Structure formats: structure tokens, C-alpha cells
Structure 1
């Protein structure tokens, strides 16, 4: 069993909990309130800015050219391609740039961003890669599951189709392959660190979906 196969199974209870969150159930049913989806998209836009920075740091630290290219391209996709999806939604919702620029990250969003950037700066390269993998892999699973459950006239079809696409799946497979290659030559201590980082990010994924549903704000 490869590292990714093993840690994916270890994360199964968390993954099931993510798929069962009210946000994702309502997203599939097409009954998610527009205000909730709007809140999610604003937070996701802020998250993607931080996520792309973490990916760029990994590209700079990568020991092999193919890894450097993969993370550099992933950082570009996070900024350009996915941001275009967000901006089309913002336009549909009538949100102007001042509203978007004034948005602040929720406690969960800020915590997740800081965790990934800290890992990209300070952790071993192997551990940092394991930390960014769940955002790819969990989103693919959520996208595919919601796609299979989605109503035909679902108002969130554009978002659903983006994360259930073959193109996105291919990107996920490439990062999984890189992670497995790194784990294969890592020390037991490094593999343990990779596992911990992966699980922590899956926990943050659950928290991010949940915080979007509750429209989490700062308590004080």
C-alpha cells in the first residue's frame, strides 16, 4: 500500500463527515441559500490567494524539475483559472470589487492559510507537500460526490462541474504521485510528519466547509 492509499484510508471518517456536512448536502440538492454560497465563495477567494502562495513556495523548494513545474502551474491555476470562476459568480451576485476587496478571512480561513504557509516555509518539503494535498484530493471527492447527487437544474452547476472535471482529476493524480514518490524515500520520522500534516489539512477542510455554512465571523 502506498503512502497516499494508507493516509486516505486513515482519513476516511473525516472524509465521510465532510461529505455529510449540511453545506455539501444542500449544495447537491440545490437548496443552499445564495447568501451562504456567496459567503463561501468570498472566503474561498481569500483562501486561494494564500494557497497559491504556499504552492509557489513549494515550487521554489522543489528538488526536481517536474515537481517545480507542477506546483508552479498549480499556483497559477489557483490564481487565474479558479479566480475566473469566482469572479463570474461575484458578477452574477452583483458584487462589485469594493465588496470583494473589503472581505476578511474567517477564523477558520485564516488558520488554514497560515498553517499551509507555515508548512511551506518551515516544515520539510515532504511534509509541506502532504499538507497541500488534501485541498486537491478532498475537493475532487466532494466535487464528484456532489456531481453524482446534484439535481438537474442545480443553480451551482458551474462550481460542481469544475471540481468534477477530468482536468482537475488529472491534476490531483499528479500531486498524489509526487507525494508517494517523496514518501517512498523519506525516513519513518518524515513519513509520520507527512501523515500528521495530511490529517490536519483534512480537519481544516471539514472546518472550512462548516464555517461557510454557519457564515463564521470573529466572536469578538
Structure 2
């Protein structure tokens, strides 16, 4: 099996925990409280600003034209397309620009973005892109899982449709291909580091949903 197939199976319990999370179950059946979703989209906007920087760094470090194009395009999407979606949700759920700009990252958000930034600054390109991948792949799986069971009408339909869109799946497959290509040429030690990066980023994905569900902030 390829590196991505192997690590995807390895994190199956984490993926199941994400799909079974009450935040996503409530989002699917339309009963998620607006305040929990507001918490999520504000934190996600903070996350995306940093994720775009990490993608740009991956593009700069990519050894191939395909990698440079994919990650630079991904940074553009993070800034433009998803931020536009957030603005629509900000208006729908009553988040003002002042509220968004005045918010600080929660421990889950800061931990996730800081981890990705640390990969970009101190680890190999291979480990960096393995850590980037779960944000694509987990969201694609979530979108495909939630869409068939989502009630209609659903106040979160636009969010669901974004991550269940075939174009998002195609982007995920392209990043998977880059990660597999990098892993195939990597040493066993580097592949082990890639697996750790992928696993940790998937853990942060669960933590992000859980933080939104509990509307968690700093404990002190």
C-alpha cells in the first residue's frame, strides 16, 4: 500500500471519533446551536490565516513544479474562497468584523497552527506536507459523511456543500499524490516522521471540533 493508504488506515480510530463527534452530528441534523457554530467559524478564520502561510511555505520548499503550483494554489484558496464563505456565515450568524478581529486563538487553534508552523520551520518538507494533508483529507471525509445524512433545509448547508464538493475531493487527491511521491523517495526515518506529523495533525482536527462544541477558551 502507499504511504497515504497506510497512514489513513492507521488513524481510523481518530477518523471515527471525528465522524461521531456531537458537533458534526448536530450540524448534520441542523440542531447545532448557533453560538457553537459562531465559535467554530471565528476560530476557523484565525486558523486559515495561518494555514495559508504554511501552504505558502510548503510551496516555497517544494522540489517540483507540481508541488509549488499545488501549495501556492492552496494558499490562495485558503485566503480567498474559504474566507468568502466565512464572510457569508459571519453575516448569517451575526459575527461582526470587530468580534472576529478581537478574538484570539483558543488553545486548540493555536496549538494546531503552531504545530504546522513548527513543521515548516524545523522539519523536512516531507513531514511538513504530511502534516498539511489532514486538513484536506479529514474535511473531505467529513463533508462526504455529513452530506448524505444532513436534514434539508439545513442552516449549515453551504458549509456542508463546500467540503463535499467534487472539486475539494480532487484537491485532496492531488495533495495525497504529492505526499505519496515524497514518501516513496524518503528514508524510513523520514517516513516515520511523516506518519507522526499526519497523526498529530489528525488529532488536532478532533480537538478543533471538540473545542467548538464546548466553546472552549483559555482555562486561566
Instruction: Give the structure-2-normalised TM-score.
Output: 0.99
Please list the CA deviations of residues 184-204 of structure 1 after superposition, one character each: whole Å capped at 9, or x if unmatched. 010000000000100000000
Q: CA deviation at 1:120?
A: 1.1
Matches within 5 A, 1:73-112: 73-112=73-112
Matching residue of 2:152: 152
Q: Which residue of 1 aligns with 2:119?
A: 119
- The whole-number CA distance in structure 2 between the counterparts of 1:185 and 1:104 is 40
- Counterpart for residue 13 of structure 1: 13
8 Å Cα contact 2:38-2:95 kept in structure 1: no
Task: After TM superposition, give the deviation of residue 93 of structure 1 in Å.
Answer: 2.1
CA RMSD of aligned residues (A): 0.6
Q: What is the aligned partner in structure 2 of residue 50 from structure 1?
A: 50
- State the distance in 2 between where 1:146 and 1:125 align: 32
The residue that corresponds to 2:186 in the other structure is 186
How far apart in 1 are the matches of 2:74 and 2:67?
10
| Per-residue deviation, 1:96 | 2.0
Deviation at 1:87, TM superposition (A): 0.3
Any runs of at least 4 consecutive aligned residues in structure 1 with deviations exceeding 3 A, and if so which? Answer: none
What is the CA–CA distance in structure 2 between the aligned matches of 1:60 and 1:42, rounded to whole Å? 28
Q: How many residues align?
A: 220
Instruction: Give the structure 1 partner of residue 165 of structure 2.
Output: 165
1:122: how far off? 1.2
Q: TM-score, normalised by structure 1?
A: 0.99
SS at match of 2:152: coil
Q: What is the CA-CA distance between 1:121 and the residue it aligns to?
A: 1.4
SS of structure 2 residue aligned to 1:104: coil
**Aligned counterparts of 1:77 and 1:121: Cα–Cα separation in 2:** 22
Tell me how far apart the structure 1 counterparts of residues 29 and 162 of structure 2 sit (CA, whole Å).
17
- State the partner residue of 1:137: 137
d(CA) in 1 for partners of 2:205 and 2:15?
Answer: 9
* C-alpha separation in 2, matches of 1:149 and 1:117: 35
Q: Report how far residue 92 of structure 1 moved.
A: 1.4
- Offset, 1:95: 2.3
Return the alpha-carbon distance in structure 2 between the equivalents of residues 193 and 95 of structure 1.
39
The CA deviation string for residues 130-165 of structure 1, in whole angstroms up to 9 with x for no partner, is: 000000000000111110110011110000000000
